[in-house]
Structures are given as structure tokens and as C-alpha cells.
């Protein structure tokens, strides 16, 4: 029976220790949240040492937060925004990567400049535009302001540049136009980058509190983050109930990330920086 090879280099050992330490720092708050969610109402995590585990907090949080409606709204908004961003990013990213036109570099710089502008600085003009379009307190107010994103355009532009130009030339010889080349050649090959953009956008929209808080007041448009915010009280907090609500809101995006993590890492690793 062969013995396992435990010949670690000093650099590998240090890397392992640093990774384990980082994982501990990241996972410890999640463990505390999960543990506290099982504590008796208005109790501390120390009470769990008495084996006082209970799922009552989850049932109460689900009913009090009306998470069924919140999940439906957040899912609808996240999927709609993600679909718009993938569409606009694919079209703009392909144009910036392959089409030769005057002002292309200047346009790329403008797209990159939008990455350093916080969304909060644009909230007043966006609010006025939405009010002018009678979109306040509608799903449009939650979807349209982030339907286009500079990060997605830049990400797909960089990935498209890693795809050999000969594949497009072969498709063009077969009679394909630009849109057909994008749809049938480029997008299938850019699947890791598309999945990366999907995860970034979906998780970002799922965790967004600013847009629902500013652009909507109707209870039927409440999202998951608005539901969580209602568990925060001014003077007292029911921490076990709040942690149960946080766990309920976090599980869907964690599962989504775990499912797509391999393609996510591949999409980040293979998106190089090209001029």
C-alpha cells in the first residue's frame, strides 16, 4: 500500500496556513449567524449549550417578513436586470472588441469611467427621470436603472478579445452576419464570462437595498432586503429572529454561487487584459 506524499515546501505550507486563516475569518461570522438563529427568542447563543435548539425563529421570521412575496419580487428583479445586462453587455462588449470605428477607445474610457461613479451620486437625476416616466413604485424603477453596467461591458469585451479571430472569419465565409457570429460563435465560447456576469449581477441585485428603499413605497413591491430591514428596530433587537431571517435570505444566493463557482473562477481567470 503506497504512502501519501506529505512533502510540503515551505512556501506551500505558508500558503495553506494563510488560506485556512482566511477561510476561518470568513466563515466564523456565518457560523455565529447560523448558531444564533437556533437560540430561543430574545436569548443569547450561550443558551444553546443547554441543547435548546429550536426552529421556531425560522417559522416566525418567514411569516413576519413575508418572505414568499419578497423572494418572488427579488427573483423577478434580479433575473430581469441580469437578462438586460447580459444582452447589453454582449452587444456593447462585442462592438468594442471587434468593430473598428472612430472614437472606440474614447468610448471604452467612458465605459470604464462609469465604474468609479457611485450609484448614490446619480440617484437624484435617476429619480427625476423615473418620475417623469411614471415609473416610481413600479418594477421598472427596480430594473431599468441598472439594466446597463460598465463592468459587464468591460468583462465581455476582454473575454471576446481572447477568442481567436479566425473563428469569426470562418463563420463570415459561411455567410454569417455580425449578429449571427455573436449569437452562434462568440456567446457559446464566452459561457464562463457570461456565467460570471450572471452571478455578479444576480447576487448584487438580490442584496440591493438602495433601489427598493428610494424608488418604491408599495408593500407589494418589497424585496428580500427590505424585509430584512424591517427586523431592525430602533432600541431593541430580537437577534435570534433577525439571524434566522438573514439565514433565509442568504441561502438562495449561497446555493447559486456553489453551483456556478467552477465556471465563475474560470471566467475570472481566463479574462485577460488586452489593449
> HEC states along 126-176?
HHHHHHHCCCCCCHHHHHHHHCCCHHHHHHHHHHHHCCCHHHHHHHHHCCC
Domains along the chain with CATH numbers:
56-269 (1.10.3720.10)
Which residue is associated with the grid cell 515551505?
10
Q: How far is CA 114 from the centre of its chain?
A: 18
- Residue 228's Cβ-count burial label (10 Å; 0-12, 13-18, 19+) is buried
Contact 274, 162 (CB under 8 A): yes
Which residue is associated with the grid cell 444576480?
202
List, as one string, the DSSP characters of 111-139: HHHGGGS-GGGGHHHHHHHHHHTT-TTSH
User: What pLDDT, on a 0 to 100 scale, did the predictor assign at position 240?
Assistant: 83
User: What pLDDT, on a 0 to 100 scale, did the predictor assign at position 269?
Assistant: 62
- In this structure, the dihedral spanned by the alpha carbons of residues 139, 141, 146 and 148, taken in order and rounded to 10 degrees, is 90
User: What pLDDT, on a 0 to 100 scale, did the predictor assign at position 150?
Assistant: 92
What 3-state DSSP class applies to 92? helix
Show pLDDT as tens, one digit a residue, over the chain (275 residues): 555 555 556 667 788 888 899 989 988 988 888 888 887 765 555 555 555 677 888 888 898 888 999 999 999 999 999 999 999 999 999 999 998 888 889 999 999 999 898 888 899 999 999 999 999 999 999 999 999 999 999 999 999 998 999 999 898 888 889 899 999 999 999 988 999 899 999 999 999 999 999 999 999 999 999 998 888 765 567 888 888 888 999 988 888 888 877 766 666 665 554 54
User: What pLDDT, on a 0 to 100 scale, did the predictor assign at position 215?
Assistant: 94
Distances (CA, A) of 58 to 28, 224, 231, 232, 248: 21, 15, 13, 16, 8
Which residue is associated with the grid cell 500558503?
15
d(CA 19, CA 132): 51
Residue 127 grid coordinates? 429619480
User: What pLDDT, on a 0 to 100 scale, did the predictor assign at position 230?
Assistant: 84
Amino acid at each position: 500500500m503506497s504512502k501519501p506524499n506529505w512533502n510540503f515546501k515551505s512556501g506551500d505550507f505558508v500558503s495553506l496556513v494563510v488560506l485556512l486563516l482566511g477561510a476561518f475569518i470568513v466563515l466564523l461570522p456565518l457560523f455565529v449567524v447560523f448558531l444564533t438563529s437556533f437560540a430561543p427568542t430574545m436569548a443569547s447563543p450561550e443558551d444553546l449549550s443547554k441543547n435548546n435548539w429550536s426552529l421556531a425563529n425560522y417559522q416566525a421570521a418567514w411569516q413576519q417578513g413575508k418572505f414568499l412575496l419578497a423572494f418572488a419580487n427579488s427573483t423577478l428583479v434580479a433575473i430581469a436586470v441580469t437578462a438586460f445586462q447580459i444582452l447589453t453587455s454582449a452587444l456593447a462588449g462585442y462592438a468594442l472588441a471587434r468593430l473598428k470605428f472612430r472614437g472606440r477607445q474614447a468610448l471604452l474610457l467612458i465605459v470604464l469611467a462609469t465604474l468609479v461613479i457611485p450609484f448614490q451620486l446619480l440617484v437624484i437625476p435617476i429619480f427625476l427621470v423615473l418620475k417623469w416616466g411614471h415609473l416610481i413604485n413600479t418594477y421598472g424603477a427596480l430594473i431599468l436603472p441598472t439594466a446597463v453596467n460598465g463592468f459587464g461591458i468591460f468583462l465581455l469585451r476582454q473575454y471576446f478579445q481572447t477568442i481567436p479571430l479566425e473563428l469569426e472569419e470562418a463563420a463570415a465565409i459561411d455567410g454569417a452576419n455580425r449578429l449571427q457570429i455573436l449569437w452562434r460563435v462568440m456567446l457559446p465560447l464566452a459561457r464562463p464570462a457570461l456565467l460570471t456576469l450572471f452571478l455578479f449581477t444576480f447576487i448584487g441585485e438580490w442584496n440591493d437595498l438602495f433601489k427598493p428603499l428610494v424608488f418604491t413605497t408599495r408593500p407589494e413591491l418589497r424585496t428580500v432586503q427590505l424585509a430584512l430591514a424591517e427586523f431592525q428596530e430602533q432600541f431593541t433587537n430580537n437577534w435570534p429572529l433577525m439571524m434566522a431571517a438573514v439565514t433565509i435570505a442568504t441561502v438562495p444566493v449561497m446555493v447559486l454561487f456553489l453551483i456556478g463557482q467552477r465556471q465563475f473562477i474560470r471566467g475570472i481567470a481566463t479574462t485577460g487584459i488586452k489593449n
